[in-house]
Structures are given as structure tokens and as C-alpha cells.
């Protein structure tokens, strides 16, 4: 701390499609908020950010817009993303008068273009951070799961997030082969909305679909009977109506999308060098992200691919914990971090 009380902090950020998480050096996770913002279109002012804004989805007057500025892991609205980050970082530093964010490690999808990576860096720096370094989400997830990424052995990570699913095989501190899909939690919600509309002739919103997915979602039949009452607008009469949704309905809704994810995992394994493929058979596949919490996910993947699949501890925060590991052991993990302001070496 300087004579003027300036406090320098390092942070890790998981800039997710569904949630933004912030890890503060030496303190752990201090922010976990939805990536949602409510804007007043008359005054161009931010009305709410995070949970408060998410609760407004589908419930606002015409002059208030509730937006999600990150789509499929990519910044769709730069200014709104920057405003969310600025708001959340201000919340982290509310206990200190003078705060300077020296360095941030930010988790990003593995398939971002150079322009998209630069936009992430600019948004973080514009929010008040001096230096922004990027780490691909599979690497961050592996660090968060405490996997030995620097050893010459296969660490296979499947991160089923909100906007994207990241599948990667990591060895010797780098990604050997990877695949990124725009099929994840948000796509499951869309599938549920479409199924309820087609099967029951009821219109429901995204928050309700998310509630259904969490309450009764599964990819394999379950022993207990799962059901939830759902209220929406009857497409025939235009009036409110309540229906009962059971777990087989959700499996029917999301089954096709989940099969695409499993096929992607198979493709990545098939493209791996033989020695690493052998390691995967021995070590298995590590699952993280909110989608890994769906009932039966690990069992389905294990049965379909004949490879053991395990959900890591606290899969929702795995990526941001990995950025925290990179921040707290910066010298050790600096080689796996990327600075978008510097030219990247293209791997062929």
C-alpha cells in the first residue's frame, strides 16, 4: 500500500454467457452474478445489473430493456459488457477508497478470433484494469480442477457452460486438440421452450425454462419421479394456464442437443494422438460447467464412450477458480496466458 492508501489488486474473471464470476487474489470468489443488465432506453442509464436485472426478464415496461450482452461466449454489445464489468469491479472495491486493478486473467472460449479476443481485453481494461491476460476456458477449468496440466499425460476437460461447450485434451501445459460448440445450457432452455410450445401449446419464457431444467432435467431415466408445475400463456386462448412437466418431457426436449455434445467428445478423442487416447482411457473425462449438473450426464457419457466420466468438485466455479490459480501463481502459469495486444503464434 502506498502513502496515499492505493491498493493494488489482481483478479480472475470468468466472463460467461450466463454468469460473470470474479476471483480476488488471496480472497477467493467475491462476485457471482448473472450476465444480465437492465437499461432505461429513455435515459440510456443502467437500471440494474446481475441478479436484480435477471429477475426483470419478461417483466419490464417498454422503455426498460433487459439484455444479455454476451452471446455464445462472445461479446455482442461491447459498451454494455464494459458497464457490467465496471459495476461489478466497483462492488468488489467498495470497502476501499483507492483501488487499482493491476492485472486480470480472463477465461474465454477456445475458438475466439483475434478481434473477439481483443474486444474482451478492451472491455476489461475499460472497466478499470491495467493489464488483461486471456486464458482458454478448458485450460482454466483444468487448473480449477487441480489437474496436472504441465505433465506429459492427457487431461480431458468438457466444460458445458451457458453459451458454449468446450471440449479439449490438455498435455504439457497446452491444448493438443479441442472443439467448441455453440450448444450448451442456453440451447437446452430453447429446446424446452420449443417443446412446451409444440407439445402443450403453452408459451413460457427463458427464466421458466431454466427453472424446469434445474428442477426435473435429466439425460437418463431416473428412479425418483420428477415433476414441476409450470405457468404460461395458452397459445389458443391467450389466457394463463398451468401444466405439469415431468422428467421424460425434458429428456425428449434436450436429447438431440445433448447427443451433439457427446458426438463432439467422441470426435476430439478420435483426433487425439494414440498415446494420449490411452491416457484418457486410464484417467477418464472431467466434466464441469452448469450443464454437467444435469442428472445422468456423467453416466450417459461413460456408457456411450466407454470411458469413465467424472463431474469435478463445484463445477459451476471451476473456470474462475482456474483464473485464480493463474493469478496467484502467475510466474508458473504465465506461459499459458495470452496477451491480445501481442501477436499470437499460430499453431498448425
pLDDT above 70: residue 151: yes
DSSP E strand stretches across 190-297: 202-203, 227-234, 240-246, 285-288
The larger pLDDT score, comparing residue 286 to residue 127, is at: 286
- For the chain, the domains span 7-140+319-336, 147-183+258-316, 185-253
297 φ/ψ angles, rounded to the nearest 5 degrees: -60, -50
Instruction: Identify the CATH class of 147-183+258-316.
Output: alpha beta
Same fold, 7-140+319-336 and 185-253: no
54 φ/ψ angles, rounded to the nearest 5 degrees: -60, -40
What's the number of CA atoms in the CB half-sphere (13 Å) around residue 70?
30
pLDDT above 80: residue 105: yes
State the Cα–Cα distance between residues 35 and 348, nearest whole angstrom: 34
For the domain made up of 185-253, give the CATH fold: Actin; Chain A, domain 4 (3.90.640)
Does the predicted model carry a pTM greater than 0.75?
Answer: yes
Query: What b/e sequence results for 283-313 when a residue is b if at least 16 CB atoms lie within 10 Å of its CB, and e otherwise?
Result: bbbbbbbbbbbbbbbbebbeeebebebbbbe
For the domain made up of 7-140+319-336, give the CATH fold: Nucleotidyltransferase; domain 5 (3.30.420)
Check residue 341 and give its pLDDT: 63
Residue 74: pLDDT band with limits 50, 70, 90: confident
pLDDT above 80: residue 191: yes
Q: Tell me how many degrees the CA angle 154-160-162 measures, rounded to the nearest 5.
A: 150
Residue 348: pLDDT band with limits 50, 70, 90: very low
Amino acid at each position: 500500500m502506498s502513502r496515499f492508501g492505493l491498493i493494488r489488486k489482481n483478479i480472475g474473471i470468468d466472463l460467461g454467457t450466463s454468469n460473470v464470476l470474479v476471483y480476488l487474489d488471496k480472497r477467493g470468489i467475491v462476485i457471482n452474478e448473472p450476465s444480465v443488465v437492465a437499461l432505461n432506453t429513455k435515459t440510456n442509464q443502467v437500471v440494474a445489473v446481475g441478479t436484480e436485472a435477471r429477475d426483470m426478464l419478461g417483466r419490464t415496461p417498454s422503455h426498460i430493456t433487459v439484455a444479455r450482452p454476451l452471446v455464445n461466449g462472445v461479446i455482442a454489445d461491447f459498451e454494455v459488457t464494459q458497464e457490467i464489468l465496471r459495476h461489478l469491479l466497483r462492488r468488489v472495491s467498495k470497502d476501499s477508497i483507492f483501488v487499482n486493478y493491476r492485472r486480470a486473467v480472463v477465461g474465454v472460449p477456445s475458438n475466439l478470433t483475434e478481434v473477439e479476443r481483443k474486444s474482451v481485453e478492451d472491455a476489461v481494461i475499460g472497466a478499470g484494469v491495467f493489464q488483461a491476460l486471456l486464458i482458454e476456458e478448458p485450460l482454466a477449468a483444468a487448473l480449477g480442477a487441480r489437474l496436472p496440466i504441465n505433465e506429459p499425460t492427457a487431461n480431458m476437460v468438457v466444460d458445458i457452460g451457458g453459451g458454449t461447450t468446450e471440449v479439449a485434451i490438455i498435455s504439457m501445459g497446452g491444448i493438443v486438440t479441442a472443439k467448441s460448440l455453440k450448444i450448451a445450457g442456453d440451447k437446452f432452455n430453447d429446446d424446452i421452450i420449443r417443446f412446451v410450445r409444440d407439445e402443450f401449446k403453452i408459451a413460457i419464457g427463458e427464466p421458466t425454462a431454466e427453472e424446469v431444467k434445474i428442477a426435473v432435467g435429466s439425460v437418463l431415466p431416473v428412479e425418483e419421479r420428477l415433476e414441476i408445475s409450470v405457468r404460461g400463456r395458452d397459445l389458443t386462448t391467450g389466457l394463463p394456464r398451468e401444466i405439469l412437466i415431468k422428467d421424460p418431457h425434458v429428456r425428449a426436449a434436450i436429447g438431440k442437443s445433448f447427443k451433439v455434445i457427446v458426438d463432439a467428445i467422441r470426435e476430439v478423442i478420435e483426433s487425439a494422438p494414440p498415446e494420449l487416447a490411452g491416457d484418457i482411457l486410464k484417467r477418464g473425462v472431467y466434466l464441469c460447467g452448469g450443464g454437467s449438473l444435469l442428472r445422468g450426464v456423467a453416466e450417459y457419457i461413460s456408457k456411450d464412450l466407454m470411458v469413465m466420466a467424472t463431474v469435478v468438485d463445484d463445477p459451476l466455479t471451476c473456470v474462475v477458480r482456474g483464473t485464480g490459480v493463474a493469478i496467484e501463481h502467475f510466474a508458473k502459469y504465465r506461459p499459458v496466458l495470452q496477451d491480445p495486444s501481442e501477436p499470437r503464434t499460430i499453431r498448425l
